Chains A and B, each alone.
Chain A
Amino acid sequence: MSKIGVFICHCGENIGAKVDCTRLASTLGDHPGVASSIEYKYFCSDPGQESVKKAIRDNNLTGVVVAACSPRMHEATFRKACAEAGLNPYMCEIANIREQCSWVHNDNDKATDKAIDIVRSMVEKVKRNNNLQPIEVPVTRRALVIGGGIAGIQAALDIANAGQEVVLVEREPSLGGHMAQLSETFPTLDCSQCIMTPRMVEAAQHPKIRLLTYAEIESVDGYIGNFQVKVRLKARYVNKSTCTGCGECITKCPSKKISSEFDCGIGKRTAIYTPFAQAVPNIPVIDKNSCTYFKNGKCKICVKTCPLDCIDFEMQDEFEDLEIGAIVVATGFQVQNNAMYGEYGFGKYQDVITGLQFERLASASGPTGGKVQRPSDGKEPETVVFIQCAGSRDPSKGVKYCSKICCMYTAKHAMLYAHKVHGGKSKIFYMDIRAAGKGYDEFTRRAIEEDEAGYLRGRVSKVWLENGKLMVRGVDTLLGKPVEIAADMVVLATAMVAQPDAKEFAKTIGIGYDEYGFFNEAHLKLRPVESSTAGIFLAGACQSPKDIPDSVAQASASASKVLALFSKEKLEREPVIAVNNESTCAGCWGCVLACPYGAIEKKDIMDRSGKLIKRVASVNPGLCQGCGTCVTFCRSNSIDLAGFTEKQIFAEVMGL
């Protein structure tokens, strides 16, 4: 016979003001199998928990239902209290009468009736609960960081500096990401590469970090503490172990007119190349699609030039399997293609460029050596128009969200322009100046007051070419007048968007993403660096548009999550796992295929003489995550989920 204790929490006024807790307690007190039913103002408080423990001991309770807030809040609290009183913690369940009842109803009587239903349904479930024991799984103490931009490098360094192994995977030939492309950084105007490259070198030289550049993630299997990751090491066609990075091959390569990705198309590179001078590792790769030898079967000048015979045209992609305990995803962002804004003339006029292209123009390592020159004729522009929100905050053509960094970098661009081209005029069309952050508003004020950036509040409707000038027609809404500016160059503050393959990638590694392709965090406020998949963490702009300080902070935060995970030898897991009834299993293996964790194996059942009787599915408790996918798939209802058995769920439904 069950002896269930029901504990009804007022949660101050949260529940007490809407639900008549006294009626609730007395109704449940009369329910068959309920031995004790009491109410209290705050059961989560120390005296509240004590009263639960006392009731368990006094009444020899076999199960506990706490009617309170969401189990996300205090399930752990009450299960622990039950365990301290000698009850198996899994005999305690939470009936949520706050989020699912008092908070969402106005009528007190009806809310109380509903609360009675909710609690009764949970009492019926607990009657059928079983004692469960937690499962222990080992943790592989090796982290995988995906993405070698500033966020990935920071996370890798933090984890490695704490003494744990890290594998850092970057798909481009060099570390660096977008930050390496920037000229100077707001709000301090320090040179991006000057602060970035030491980090890149540190990561490359760190004894605990294994660097895999020009590599991509093929597949991720397993679960928290025990991931199996397959990495594709793309063929560089250059032998990594012998190449010294002398650069002879790059100098001699005859294909010199390939648009440079690193310079956003305004600079050129060769077919065998390193993306930039400070590339880490400083080992070139051959771009198969542009290389004369790969296209025509003739050339091989690099082979003849290389003093160490490092070039190998026969090289193939290689695969490597890694055992990983935790993953940090730091795959970054892309800038939106502005070709869809026909009115701005991007793609039509050479001197209409994106903010990132301007960064390359202003960068000392860029194609112009840091001189601001028009891509069309190399002249120094006398007037530059900056258009903010070119894509951001535009639900009709662009993206709905604010890209967060554009107000700041546009102010920076205006300053850099003022410093590099004395007497140059800058005009900035903006919607709002969003400069929240340490030193940020001071920075934009400085652009306006000291560097004479001309801010015009309004949008641009059209850009066209007239007598060699880019005519920009917009509106100054503060004056209420249309304006026309003859400019030499137009810079679009393009939106930050997710990587084009972000959704595909999210599916490969098994994390969620939003409508834009940014990866979803487990909780926007309280778990911002965790993905919804245990053991996979997020850092940087792959989660949402971010500037450098935010990306670095989030990277360190994910590193601390990884280190917390690695601080224990074993991981204790909830025993909510699938169990198969072998006598009814038809052995169709649908569950084997459906299981996202590869936790179900085929098992032979033999008779005493070793003859095969039948084959059934068998769940590996170490691998099972208790997601229940197999349960829903099983046609004969042979698989059940401990803690959420069909019997329990059925009783719960029937209790309503």
Chain B
Amino acid sequence: MSIEQLYRTRAKELLSSGEVKMVIGYGAGSNKERRRPLFITSAEECDKLVLDSACISNLSGYLLTEGLLSDEKRVAVFLRPEGVRALNVLAAEAQLDTAQIVIIGFDSPKGELKALEGSSVEEFTALITALKEITPETAGEEQLAKIEKMSPEERFLFWQEEFSKCIKCYACRQACPMCYCRRCIVDSNQPQWVNTSSHTLGNFEWNIVRAFHLSGRCVECGNCDRACPVNIPLRLINRKMAEEVLNSFNHFAGTSKTQEPVLASFKKDDSETFIL
């Protein structure tokens, strides 16, 4: 039986037994490369579920839909390893209770689909810990190396160029599971710290604020990068911030559901060369 078949059956069982009230998975998209999120509440619909290597978006963000988890019933969700990490971060930030989530885990390294054992976040701890040790593969590895070699002036020009494309549609924010604030800082206009018009200053402000808000939290699922309609390589910024946080504080986002947020916590042996 294919993994897709296996997971369809599993979804059916979960729904018909009443163990979960909903399964969040992937359905067919407009073409073979695109997959849509599917929200299934009855066993009959489970045959619509699709699972292949094109299922790349991180579905964990949908769990935070207002009211979805407030009845304390359980929800199953299709997740890649970075999706499980996202669950841990969200649980650490008190946005959800992982006991309510049934994970249907999968991964597709080098395009080959494989099922992942386990249905609770704790069962993925070993896998995530192993991820911390290896350098994650990034689509823009070459580009990243190129940016690292640039002088600060060149780098500034590079990002100025990239950010000049930004149309402030905030698709990155909407796609990101970590952007769950009820009111985003850009939507606060008393005072309006971040300029909403699409000029250099406003574009820098928005993208830098977002990079800082994600540092130590981003699991590099790539949702923002794929959502960006003007193709700003947002993933590169998040990669860089993740690297900084790992090197400075040995912090890898989403290793456990009780992990303390790196920028709000303090350890006595933290390096503090920046404090005078």
Chain A positions within 8 Å of B, measured between CB atoms, are 504, 507-508, 583-591, 593-594, 612, 615, 633, 635-638, 646-647, 650-651
Contact of A589 among B70, B93, B184 (CB under 8 A): B93
Q: Produce 1/0 per residue, B151-190, CB < 8 A to A.
A: 0000000000000000000000000000011111100101
Q: Does B240 make an interface contact (CB < 8 A)?
A: no
Whose C-beta in chain A lies nearest to the C-beta of B66?
Answer: A614
Apart from A583-B182, A633-B263, list 7 A-B contacts with CB within 8 A. Answer: A504-B268, A507-B268, A584-B183, A588-B94, A593-B260, A647-B190, A651-B191
A591 touching B184, Cβ below 8 Å = no
Chain A proximity of B251: nearest CB distance (Å)? 14
Chain B proximity of A433: nearest CB distance (Å)? 35
Given contacts A584-B182, A584-B183, A635-B185, are A590 and B264 in contact (CB under 8 A)? Answer: yes
Inside 8 A of A593's CB, which chain B residues have their CB?
A: 260-261, 264-265
B191 touching A647, Cβ below 8 Å = yes
Chain B proximity of A130: nearest CB distance (Å)? 14
Q: Produce 1/0 per residue, B237-276, CB < 8 A to A.
A: 0000000000000000000000011011100100000000
**Between-chain CB contacts (< 8 Å), 13 pairs:** A508-B268, A583-B182, A584-B183, A585-B182, A586-B182, A587-B94, A588-B93, A588-B95, A635-B213, A636-B185, A637-B188, A647-B190, A650-B191
How many chain B residues touch A (Cβ–Cβ < 8 Å)?
21
Contact of B181 among A507, A589, A633, A636 (CB under 8 A): A636
Alpha-carbon distance A583/B182, docked complex (angstroms): 8
Whose C-beta in chain A lies nearest to the C-beta of B183?
Answer: A584
B260 touching A650, Cβ below 8 Å = no
Contact of B185 among A637, A647, A650 (CB under 8 A): A637
Given contacts A646-B191, A647-B191, are A591 and B182 in contact (CB under 8 A)? Answer: no
Chain B positions within 8 Å of A, measured between CB atoms, are 70, 93-95, 180-185, 188, 190-191, 193, 213, 260-261, 263-265, 268
Contact of B94 among A507, A589, A594, A646 (CB under 8 A): A589
Chain A proximity of B216: nearest CB distance (Å)? 10
Chain A proximity of B269: nearest CB distance (Å)? 9
A586 touching B268, Cβ below 8 Å = no
Inside 8 A of A589's CB, which chain B residues have their CB?
A: 93-94
Chain A proximity of B93: nearest CB distance (Å)? 4
Alpha-carbon distance A123/B213, docked complex (angstroms): 33
Chain B proximity of A206: nearest CB distance (Å)? 35
Alpha-carbon distance A507/B193, docked complex (angstroms): 34
Chain A proximity of B85: nearest CB distance (Å)? 17
Alpha-carbon distance A635/B188, docked complex (angstroms): 11
Contact of B180 among A504, A586, A590, A594 (CB under 8 A): A586
Alpha-carbon distance A647/B182, docked complex (angstroms): 20
B261 touching A636, Cβ below 8 Å = no
Inside 8 A of B268's CB, which chain A residues have their CB?
A: 504, 507-508
Inside 8 A of B190's CB, which chain A residues have their CB?
A: 646-647
Alpha-carbon distance A551/B213, docked complex (angstroms): 48
Inside 8 A of B183's CB, which chain A residues have their CB?
A: 584, 636-638
Inside 8 A of B180's CB, which chain A residues have their CB?
A: 586
Inside 8 A of A615's CB, which chain B residues have their CB?
A: 94
Alpha-carbon distance A594/B184, docked complex (angstroms): 20
Whose C-beta in chain A lies nearest to the C-beta of B212?
Answer: A635
Q: Shortest 3 CB-CB distances between A and B: which pairs?
A: A650-B191, A636-B181, A594-B264
